[in-house]
Structure formats: C-alpha cells, structure tokens
C-alpha cells in the first residue's frame, strides 16, 4: 500500500510590512479612551492607503499590524504615503501627544498557514520595525535592492545588524526624505529633546524602612528635572510601574518615547549613604554618564534635598552635552540644535573662543526662530559673560545689550528662571547689587536648584562692601552643585572676598583651587597674581600673570579699573589694593 505523503507546506515570496505605534503605553497612560479613539481614526485612513497599494492586512495586535504586499515597491510606496499622511495629521498636535508609527519592511520567503503568515521573513520585518525611529521606516537589504531605483526616496545604509532570534546578520536601510519636493515626507521624527524617565532607584540592602526615602529621592528628582527648560519627563507614577522589574532600556525608550533613562541605587551602611546613578541613551543603550558619591547620614530630608539638587544640576549639564552631540550630527540643524551647541560651548569655559562660538550658535538659532526664548536668553548670557570677564573695552555696551535682550525675553516668558538670574547678574555688574539680589532670589523661587544664583548673590554682597558674607553663599552653591561647570568662577569670588579684607593666605587657597578647576579663566590669573604679589611671592605672581596674558593678551589695569562694578567706598578702597598688586605682578598699565 502506498504511503501517504505529508501535506506540502505552502510558501511564497512576499513583501512583509510590520508597524506599531511608538510610545503607545505612554499615550494610553495619558488618555486611554482618547488614544484608542485616535488610533481607530488613523487606521481608517491608513487602511485605505494599504488597499490602494494592493496590500493585505494579515493580523492586528493592538497598536501594531502585520501586512503583506505582492510587490516590495508597492509596500515601500505605501509606507511612505502612510508616514506622509501621519505627519499631516500630527501637525498642530503637541509633541508629547503625537501618534507616530514605526514601520519595518522585508522581502522574504514566508510560510502560509490559513490567513496567517509565518517564518524568518516575517520575523525580520518585525525586528526592523523595532529599529525604525518613531515616524520612520527601516527596510532590509533584500527590499532595498528591489526599490533603490524605483521609489524616489533617499536611503541611509545602517550596516549589518544582529537581530534578535535571527541567525544571520541583516543589512538595514533607513528610508529618508523624498527626493521630489512636492512629495516630501518628514520621516525621521524622533523622541522629544531632553526626554527622560527616572526609574525608581533600587534600595540596596532591602531595608523596608529606607524604601520611603529611596522613593522620595526618585519622585523629587523627577519633579526637579521637569524644571529644566524644554525637558519632557515621564511622570513618577508611570515610572513606578517598573519598580523592581528587569528593564530593557532600548525597549523602554521606544515604549515611552524618551531619549534618556536614568537609573540608580541607594545603599545605607552604618552612618553613611552611598548613591550610584547612570544616565543611559535609550536609543543605543550606551552609558553617557555615571556618578557615585557617599555622604554621612544626617537629617534624611536635608539629605534628600541635597542628593536631588546635586543630581539635577549635573544632569542638566550632561543632558545639554548629549543633545549638543546629537546636533553636531545633524546636516540641517534647527534652532534648538543650535541652542544646545551654544550651551555646550558655555559649559566648556568662559574663554573668548568659546563665548564667541556660543554667541554665533545662539544668534543663528534666533535668526531661524526669532521667538525662541531659550536661544534669546542663551545669547544674552554669552554677551553678559563677555562683559563680566573684561575681554574688551566695550564692557558697558555688552552688559547693556544683554539687559535689553533679557527684558525682551522676560516680557514673553516672565517665569524664566535663567533669564531672571542673568538679569540679576547684569544688575550686579552695573552698580545695582540690591536689585540683582532680588532677581537672583526670584530665579531661586522658580528653580531651587539654580546654584549659580546663590553664587551671584555672594558676589553682590562683595560689591556692596559685605564681602564677609560672600563665602557662605558660595558654599551653598557648591553644596548644591559641587562639580558645577562654573565652580571655578565661584572659587575666584571667594578668593576676591578674602583678598579684599587682606586675608591673603586664605585668598591664595581659593584662587589656586579655582585655577586648578579651570586654567582657562584669564581674570582669575590676574587676581591670583595680585594676591601673590602682596604676599611677596613675586616670581610666582609674574608667572601666573603671564599665563593670564597668554589667555587674554589685551588685558590691562586700566580696563579693570574702568569696569568697576560698584561705587561702594569700602569696595573701591579694597579694589585699589588689587590694582597695585596687579602692577607688582606685571599686568600692563594700559
């Protein structure tokens, strides 16, 4: 008797398209009913496009769909059309509420099982969808070879990719903007800038009595990071759902549509507390920054505030640096790209070179977007610093220009903490220290972590003839942000306050620490040299001044005298001592 042969498995070559909604869980958390309704409305439009291009809906999985096309050209054209119509439908929708599709396309052999399709060809499409940016399309090399000269879009080679559960590497391509102007499609909408989720910190040791403290740090840090201008921070209640669970950072970033993930731990041992934190790029999984610090256990609420302030201040700088690195890779930077690059220059140091570069980036940003408050405030800050550091003889004009820009910014954004602080600094440097203190206190009321505002209040006290109060304000700034990018300047101000009262040995210690923190701040060298000269260390004083002149060859005693920021008699008398010390140390008279 002839043995019955097993049924032949059905196969065919097809273009497989996998799609899902980026950040769907986050959107559902914000508005479950509204998100479901919006997705249904979008689907009516996209389903019509699929039918128009000859596609077939294989199955739907909540926010995702699997499609099959007989032609890969039709599949890619359909995907481009879908992203184009979605870009139009998202126009005017707040960035955090936009529904963005990710699309993966593969040309491969599939298994037929009723109306379903299976096999590696399907799996590759699903993995490529996971690689696509929100609003973007990612295709395999097999699909690319069929469409490269037939669909008028640009492609970016992403190289060979190791995809989960796929045995061989797959070469992938991102689909870019359309080559035809009338069919251009913005396909590369990514996660919002400065978008971050603060995962619940781990309680190492498991002491249940410490849980409330650990959760308090996480919640407070989430709140304080949301004060960073332009930031998008996932709500603490959403982040809590991941407590105690293993997390795939890249998957989490896609689900929540964020660029960065912050994770950390707290461990108590005896009378000390250790804090570990890591900032991670959610798109690549790379660690961008890590920090560990230990503190003696004191008042837990004070400790919580200090931990949060330190982290918030450092993260502000780190996030700006990360965004600036992204912006450097952009071929067509927008206003915010240029703003972040300008801020990164300021954080590198208050040199003529960096200030000029920062000013250029900010001015380009304002030219692109005249209503960009961040760029306007950034430009004013760069101008202020150029005036405050005596880099030219036009100090008064620079400070006046900065004040005008800040008043303009505050007329539009009256609650902008950095604008208030910069305005206070301008007033402090133009003989209005009392008004300057008020503006800095206003800035701190809006952002309690603005350590720089404490420091400016300290220098205001110096100019008011109350230099004995300066150190306390600077120490508060250092407590909140001990590794601040501007700490070198704060230390110089304490050095000045000590020198003003002839405590030269103490002044030397502060000047030396400030210069060790940043050797590129010219004015600190001149003040340090003056102090050393009064102590009789003339050789070292002259060497220090020469280092300052190498940074700012045009600096003179005359320029420093002309820029006196106060007419307070006690201040002016002490400043005469600085002029004489500078002359002894070799600063040109001018």
Q: What is the DSSP secondary-structure string of 35-60? A: HHHHHHHHHHHHHHHHHHTT-EEEEE
Helix, strand, coil percentages in the chain from 3-state DSSP, rounded to 5: 55, 15, 25
Supply the pTM of this predicted model: 0.62
The DSSP call for residue 467 is: G
Residue with more model confidence, 437 or 63: 437
Least Cα distance to 378 among 361, 399, 390, 398 occurs for: 361
**CATH number where 386 lies:** 1.25.40.10
| C-beta pairs of 431-439 under 8 Å, 24+ apart in sequence | 431/463, 431/565, 431/566, 431/567, 433/460, 433/461, 433/463, 433/464, 433/566, 434/460, 434/464, 436/460
Is residue 205 located within the same domain as residue 170? Answer: no
Domain extent, residue 83, equals: 11-183
Q: How far is CA 96 from CA 319, 477, 491, 544, in A?
A: 19, 34, 41, 52
**CATH number where 292 lies:** 3.40.50.10610
The answer to whether position 462 is within a domain reads: no
The answer to whether position 3 is within a domain reads: no
Q: Could you tell me if 294 and 318 are in contact, meaning their C-beta atoms sit under 8 angstroms apart?
A: no
Q: How far from chain centre, in Å, is Cα 345?
A: 13
**Over residues 44-62, mean pLDDT:** 88
**CATH number where 140 lies:** 3.30.70.1230
Helices (H) then strands (E): counts for the chain: 23, 14
Is residue 433 located within the same domain as residue 556? Answer: no
| SS3 assignment, position 16 | strand
* Lowest-confidence pick of 20-24, 493-497, 499-503: 20-24
The answer to whether position 190 is within a domain reads: no
Whats the size of the chain, residue-wise? 590
Is residue 584 located within the same domain as residue 553? Answer: yes
| C-beta pairs of 316-320 under 8 Å, 24+ apart in sequence | 316/228, 317/347, 317/484, 317/485, 318/279, 318/288, 318/289, 319/194, 319/196, 319/228, 319/231, 319/260, 319/279, 320/344, 320/347
H-assigned helices in 518-556: 522-534, 538-551
Least Cα distance to 131 among 261, 252, 251 occurs for: 251
Compute φ and ψ for 17, nearest 5 degrees.
Answer: -120, 125
Q: Could you tell me if 286 and 280 are in contact, meaning their C-beta atoms sit under 8 angstroms apart?
A: yes
**Over residues 154-173, mean pLDDT:** 78
The answer to whether position 585 is within a domain reads: yes
Write down which residue in 448, 471, 501 finishes a domain: 448
H-assigned helices in 65-182: 72-90, 120-131, 141-147
Per-residue tokens: 189: 């909408």
Dist. CA 533–CA 511, nearest whole Å: 13
pLDDT at 153: 82
Is residue 304 located within the same domain as residue 208? Answer: yes
Is residue 25 located within the same domain as residue 159? Answer: yes
Dist. CA 132–CA 104, nearest whole Å: 7
pLDDT at 168: 76
Is residue 165 located within the same domain as residue 219? Answer: no
Write down which residue in 183, 215, 232 finishes a domain: 183
| SS3 assignment, position 149 | coil
Is residue 215 located within the same domain as residue 170? Answer: no
Q: Which tens digits make up the pLDDT trace of 173-191?
A: 888 743 332 333 333 345 7
pLDDT of residue 427 exceeding 80, the answer is yes
Q: Could you tell me if 177 and 186 are in contact, meaning their C-beta atoms sit under 8 angstroms apart?
A: yes
pLDDT at 3: 53
Domain count, the chain: 4
Q: Which residues of 197-231 are buried (b: 16+ CB within 10 A; e: fewer)?
A: bbbbbbbeeeeeebeebbbbbbbbbbebbbbbbbb
The answer to whether position 188 is within a domain reads: no
Q: Which tens digits make up the pLDDT trace of 196-233?
A: 888 988 888 777 777 777 888 888 888 888 777 777 88
Q: Could you tell me if 84 and 185 are in contact, meaning their C-beta atoms sit under 8 angstroms apart?
A: yes
Dist. CA 264–CA 198, nearest whole Å: 9
Q: Ranked by mean pLDDT, which of 21-35, 181-195, 441-455, 527-541 comes out on top?
A: 527-541
Compute φ and ψ for 150, nearest 5 degrees.
Answer: -120, -20
- Give percent of the chain above pLDDT 70: 94
Dist. CA 453–CA 456, nearest whole Å: 5
Dist. CA 479–CA 462, nearest whole Å: 20
pLDDT at 524: 94
Average pLDDT, the chain: 85
pLDDT at 183: 33
The DSSP call for residue 200 is: P
Is residue 179 located within the same domain as residue 200? Answer: no
**Over residues 104-126, mean pLDDT:** 84
HEC states along 244-256? CCCCCHHHHHHHH
Dist. CA 346–CA 578, nearest whole Å: 28
Residue with more model confidence, 524 or 230: 524
Is residue 417 located within the same domain as residue 536? Answer: no
pLDDT at 428: 95
Dist. CA 169–CA 162, nearest whole Å: 5
Dist. CA 399–CA 9, nearest whole Å: 79
Is residue 403 located within the same domain as residue 498? Answer: no
Dist. CA 43–CA 47, nearest whole Å: 6
The answer to whether position 468 is within a domain reads: no
The answer to whether position 471 is within a domain reads: no
pLDDT at 178: 36
Q: Could you tell me if 305 and 317 are in contact, meaning their C-beta atoms sit under 8 angstroms apart?
A: no
Q: Which tens digits make up the pLDDT trace of 289-342?
A: 888 877 777 666 667 777 788 788 888 888 878 888 877 776 677 888 888 888
Per-residue tokens: 318: 């780190």
pLDDT of residue 351 exceeding 50, the answer is yes
Dist. CA 97–CA 30, nearest whole Å: 9
Strands 260-269 and 202-204: parallel
Q: Could you tell me if 236 and 225 are in contact, meaning their C-beta atoms sit under 8 angstroms apart?
A: no
Residue with more model confidence, 135 or 181: 135
pLDDT at 300: 62
Is residue 318 located within the same domain as residue 379? Answer: no
Is residue 39 located within the same domain as residue 151? Answer: yes
pLDDT at 578: 94
Q: Could you tell me if 200 and 240 are in contact, meaning their C-beta atoms sit under 8 angstroms apart?
A: yes
The answer to whether position 65 is within a domain reads: yes
pLDDT of residue 273 exceeding 60, the answer is yes
């Amino acid at each position: 008797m002839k043995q019955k042969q097993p049924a032949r498995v059905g196969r065919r070559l097809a273009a497989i398209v996998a799609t899902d909604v980026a950040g769907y869980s986050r959107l559902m958390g914000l508005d479950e009913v509204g998100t479901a309704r919006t997705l249904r409305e979008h689907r009516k439009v996209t389903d019509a496009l699929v039918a128009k291009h000859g596609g077939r809906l294989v199955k739907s999985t909540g926010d995702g769909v699997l499609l099959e096309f007989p032609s890969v050209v039709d599949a890619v054209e359909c995907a481009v059309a879908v992203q184009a119509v979605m870009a139009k439908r998202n126009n005017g929708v707040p960035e955090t509420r936009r529904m963005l599709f990710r699309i993966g396309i593969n040309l491969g052999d599939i298994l037929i099982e009723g109306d379903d399709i299976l096999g590696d060809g399907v799996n590759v499409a699903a993995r490529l969808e996971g690689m696509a940016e929100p609003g973007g399309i990612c295709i395999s090399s097999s699909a690319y070879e069929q469409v490269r000269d037939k669909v008028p879009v640009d492609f970016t080679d992403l190289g060979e990719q190791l995809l989960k559960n796929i045995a061989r590497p797959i070469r992938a391509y991102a689909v870019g903007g359309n080559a035809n102007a009338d069919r251009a499609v913005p396909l590369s909408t990514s996660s919002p800038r400065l978008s971050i989720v603060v995962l619940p910190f781990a309680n190492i040791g498991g002491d249940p009595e410490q849980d409330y403290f650990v959760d308090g740090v996480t919640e407070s840090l989430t709140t304080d990071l949301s004060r960073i201008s332009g930031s998008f921070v996932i709500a603490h209640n959403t982040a809590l759902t991941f407590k105690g669970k293993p997390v795939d950072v890249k998957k989490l970033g896609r689900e929540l549509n964020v660029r960065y993930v912050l994770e950390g731990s707290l461990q108590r041992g005896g009378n000390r507390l250790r804090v570990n934190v890591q900032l991670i790029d959610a798109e690549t999984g790379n660690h961008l920054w890590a920090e560990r610090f230990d503190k003696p256990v004191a008042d837990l609420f004070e400790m919580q505030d200090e931990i949060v302030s330190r982290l918030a201040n450092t993260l502000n700088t780190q996030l700006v640096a990360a965004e600036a690195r992204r912006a450097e890779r952009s071929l067509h930077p927008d206003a915010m790209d240029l703003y972040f690059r300008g801020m990164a220059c300021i954080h590198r140091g208050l040199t003529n070179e960096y200030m000029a570069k920062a000013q250029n980036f900010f001015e380009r940003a304002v030219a692109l977007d005249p209503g960009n408050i961040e760029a306007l405030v950034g430009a004013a800050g760069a101008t202020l610093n150029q005036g405050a550091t005596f880099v030219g003889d036009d100090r008064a004009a620079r400070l006046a220009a900065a004040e005008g820009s800040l008043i303009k910014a505050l007329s539009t954004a009256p609650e902008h903490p950095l604008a208030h602080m910069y305005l206070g600094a301008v007033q402090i440097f133009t003989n209005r220290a009392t008004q300057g203190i008020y503006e800095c206190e206003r800035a701190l009321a809006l952002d309690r972590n603005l350590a720089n505002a404490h420091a400016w209040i300290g220098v205001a006290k110096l100019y008011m003839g109350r230099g004995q109060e300066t150190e306390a304000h600077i120490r508060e700034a250092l407590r909140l942000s001990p590794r601040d990018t501007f700490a070198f300047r704060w230390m110089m101000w304490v050095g000045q306050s000590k020198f003003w009262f002839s405590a030269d040995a103490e002044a030397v210690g502060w000047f030396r620490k400030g210069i060790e923190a940043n050797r590129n701040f010219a004015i600190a060298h001149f003040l340090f040299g003056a102090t050393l000269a009064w102590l009789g260390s003339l050789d070292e004083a002259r060497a220090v001044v020469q280092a300052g002149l190498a940074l700012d060859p045009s600096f003179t005693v005359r320029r420093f005298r002309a820029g006196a920021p106060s007419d307070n008699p006690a201040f002016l008398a002490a400043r005469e001592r600085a002029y004489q010390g500078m002359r002894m140390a070799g600063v040109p008279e001018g």
